[in-house]
Amino acid sequence: MINKDQYYIGLLLGVLSPVLFYVVLIGVDALYEELLGKAMVRAPHYLYLLAVVPNLFWIRYYLGKMKMTKSGFSVFLVTMIYILLYFFKYFQNPV
């Protein structure tokens, strides 16, 4: 399934990868806090941005190794939208 060059596969991977990785990060953060008594990150919303990391590997896989532009571009597009939404929501103007 992941070896097909189709837009919906890239969209599906681009949406599901960060969600699944975010769940893993929340679990690791909870375990870390339980064992050591402090959180892994200063603010919980940093984990949202960190959850994008698996998409970088998908982009590299599809665009670099497999030369599948439809799937790779779809993952890239979802990643950019995700990052922009994060900054629009959490970035505060220092002025």
**Rounded CA gap, 4 and 92, in Å?**
40
Q: Which residue has the tokens 């929501």?
A: 89
Q: Taking 70 as the threshold, does the pLDDT of residue 1 lie above it?
A: yes
56-80 pLDDT tens trace: 999 999 999 999 999 999 999 999 9
15-25 pLDDT tens trace: 999 999 999 99
**Rounded CA gap, 78 and 93, in Å?**
25
Q: Supply the pLDDT for residue 95.
A: 52
- The answer to whether 77 and 12 have CB atoms below 8 angstroms apart is no
